[in-house]
Structure 1
Amino acid sequence: MADPLSLVSGIAGVVIPALHGMRLLLRDLQDIKDAPKNVQDLKNELSLVDGALSSLQDIEPEDLDSLGPSVGDNIKSTVKVCSTACDKFRADLQRWTRHSQDKKLSWRDRSTIGFWKQDDIKSIQGKLHNCQVNITSVVSTATLSFHHVKITQEIRKTLSLKEDELKAVTQSTVRQRGQVELQLESLSIQDPKPEETAKNLQEEQRYLEESQKLLGELLAKIQEAAKPQATPVVNVTFGSQNSGLQIATNNAPMSGFVFGGRGE
């Protein structure tokens, strides 16, 4: 079995730099005075992801380990994709605001961010939203503590609710993938930058694939835990002579037994 501390350490190695990069981006956005509404919305999404990743760091190693190494790998992939997108967007933002001074947007940069770059902002908002939903799902699933042997009726009810929630999120992710695939298929040569647009859509497609894998792993874990527990099998042996009466505890009357020596 994998070392729970090793799994946590591996995830921390991805989460910590991701949080650092997201906080740098958030700081840059907060430094923009009188920012357009789409920038304000982006700041809100960054704050939500920050909270989700911070909660992920607070999970007990045993609880996180109960989800299995496959989920751990998918967590790292999901966070990496989102982190890379934030780093890229931060570099783009610095280029888009190069005409501004004293943290106040020039009319030219305001037009760029508020109008021309709406699709870019919408794209990273979608990635951040999915990341927040996915990581929140991981946290809430892990805290169900699957390493406990006995699944009570109350826990089973919670598992059922969680299963419905994960199915809804998965369906939403599938719909998003479908929309991205349609956009790729309908990409026109009239697009001002078809290659760049296609690259962005392909990145979004890969991210949604990673999200779907992670949600699928969590759903499988929930469904496995919700299965009725089998009756434990008790093996009974009768010693070297394979004879005699052996019983642990009995609360019912017994009859029909003949006690005597074993015939040769």
Structure 2
Amino acid sequence: MAEPIGVASGLLTLATFAFQSSITLYQTVQSFQFHPKRVRDLEEELEALSGVLGSLTETVGAATDVDLSALDLPLRRCGNACKEFGQEITKCSSRSGGSRTSFRDWAKLRYMGDDIDGFRQLLAGYKSTIIIALTDASLRKSSVTAEGVKIYRDLIKTATDDLEAHLQSIDEKLETVFGHTVGESDLDTTELRLIKEERMSTQKCLQICAQLSDHIDQIQLTTRRSGSPGSTDPEDTLPERLTTEGLQECKNSLALTAAKLEGYMKDLIDRLVTKSRTAMTSEEELADLTRLRDEWETARQCIGICSKAGVHLKENITTIDNYATGDAIQFMVSTDGKVVHGKNRGLGWRTRQVGGHLSDVSLQQLSRDMSSPRLENTGTEDPSSRSNTERPTETQREASGHFEGRYGVGLKLTSPHSEGAKAKRGFD
């Protein structure tokens, strides 16, 4: 138990650091009088980021059973980015005279080569990643509305797209730095070319692993959804079980392979960074290179968090959309504890619906009961086919309208004094 507590304690320290850094930067920006639109946008982003970091700090501090260790690197980078950008603001204002009432050089601010809008987008990536990680952990313990699932799915898609664009930008900046700093000798040029080729090859292999893993996920989901609610055998057959185990082993093997490839990619970047540092003399250039290298790793980590959250969403939430007309029985249930969201839409003259969380045995019994002749023969006559020969009186129509308005159409029961009932008693 000591290890999880230690991990949670370290994560809480990082979350607190990032939270305090974001607040400090927000206060620094607020202390200046001139706030053009891009600065106001940054203030809004910082305020939103602080709120998310505050929620994360509370969650980590209150619950030790929530695994958010993947946020370690993003939180460290988020805290450092806020701290370093605040230092850049201070330096820039000092060069402009140091007055917080007259400072107007926001456009001159640069962080890792980007302007203030680029920095705001950087913070937005951290914020989205933290929200996704928190939601992913929450979905494993609680339910969510259909609208919430859609919003969450859209957030994962948007965040992934933005992070991939950010990673591409970081890659391009690193390539530029490497091209300028690596020596021009034949040996250095050859080594740089080989490392670039290795990076491209590694990236391609990672894409293959990701595509194959996604394909296995789709096969597994299709297999899970192919079962019939009325099946009499709740256990998988031996071939199905062997296939499921084999697919899972493939996924585990792919995950290990991807982890090794990621490690190799990191080593290649480190080799290039090391060679570039030997050619740099400026402390500022060295600091920028270190930030780019850390941000490259952080962006890949954030993309991984989003990817895993998307997989968990597919695995743990089932979507059902039932539509039926006429005489129908509709089921929208979960037998494995997973979240279910969807619709049971019945437009027929008699529709029976079941929804919720049930065991396999209960669902099978309920399916048999609802399909039994006893229930099927209850009001089997379609209201539209009823005879109109017996016209109700005005009083009956008024009473019927009052009943229907409160309780619905209903079904007319046979009177004990009817001819059919008398005939039946005659046989007794």
Instruction: Give the TM bin, normalised by the shorter chain.
Output: 0.5 to 0.7
Q: Given the superposition, is the C-alpha separation of residues 37 and 5 from structure 1 closer, same or farther in structure 2, using an over 3 Å criterion?
A: same
Larger mean Cα displacement after TM superposition, 117-126 or 41-50: 117-126
Find the counterpart in structure 1 of residue 101 from structure 2.
Answer: 104
AA of the residue aligned to 1:169: A
Give matches, 1:100-249, under 5 Å. Answer: 100-106=97-103, 110-111=104-105, 113-115=106-108, 117=110, 119-144=114-139, 146-147=140-141, 159=149, 162-186=152-176, 189=180, 198-226=289-317
Tell me if 1:49 matches 2:140.
Answer: no
Distance in 2 between residues matched to 1:161 and 1:12, nearest whole Å: 27
Distance in 2 between residues matched to 1:147 and 1:221, nearest whole Å: 12
**Conserved in 2, the CA contact under 8 Å of 1:77 and 1:210?**
yes
Q: Given the superposition, is the C-alpha separation of residues 123 and 197 from structure 1 closer, same or farther in structure 2, using an over 3 Å criterion?
A: farther
The CA deviation at 1:120 is 4.4
The CA deviation at 1:178 is 2.1
**Conserved in 2, the CA contact under 8 Å of 1:5 and 1:61?**
no
Find the counterpart in structure 1 of residue 77 from structure 2.
Answer: 81
Identity of aligned residues (%): 18
For these two proteins, the number of residue pairs brought into alignment is 223
AA of the residue aligned to 2:31: D
**Conserved in 2, the CA contact under 8 Å of 1:35 and 1:105?**
no
| TM-score for the superposition, normalised by structure 1 | 0.66
Q: Given the superposition, is the C-alpha separation of residues 155 and 64 from structure 1 closer, same or farther in structure 2, using an over 3 Å criterion?
A: farther
Q: Given the superposition, is the C-alpha separation of residues 196 and 120 from structure 1 closer, same or farther in structure 2, using an over 3 Å criterion?
A: farther
Find the counterpart in structure 2 of residue 261 from structure 1.
Answer: none
- The structure with the larger Rg is 2
**Conserved in 2, the CA contact under 8 Å of 1:141 and 1:162?**
no
| TM-score for the superposition, normalised by structure 2 | 0.43
**Conserved in 2, the CA contact under 8 Å of 1:174 and 1:212?**
yes
Cα RMSD (Å): 3.9
Distance in 1 between residues matched to 2:24 and 2:60, nearest whole Å: 27
Find the counterpart in structure 2 of residue 95 from structure 1.
Answer: 91
Q: Given the superposition, is the C-alpha separation of residues 160 and 20 from structure 1 closer, same or farther in structure 2, using an over 3 Å criterion?
A: closer
The CA deviation at 1:171 is 2.9
Q: Given the superposition, is the C-alpha separation of residues 161 and 49 from structure 1 closer, same or farther in structure 2, using an over 3 Å criterion?
A: closer
Larger relative contact order (CA 8 Å, sep ≥ 6): 1
After superposition, the C-alpha distances for 1:84-140 in whole angstroms (9 at most, x for unaligned) are: 11111122221111143452235xxx34x3236382434422221111111222333
Distance in 1 between residues matched to 2:154 and 2:45, nearest whole Å: 24
Helix, strand or coil at the partner of 1:222: helix
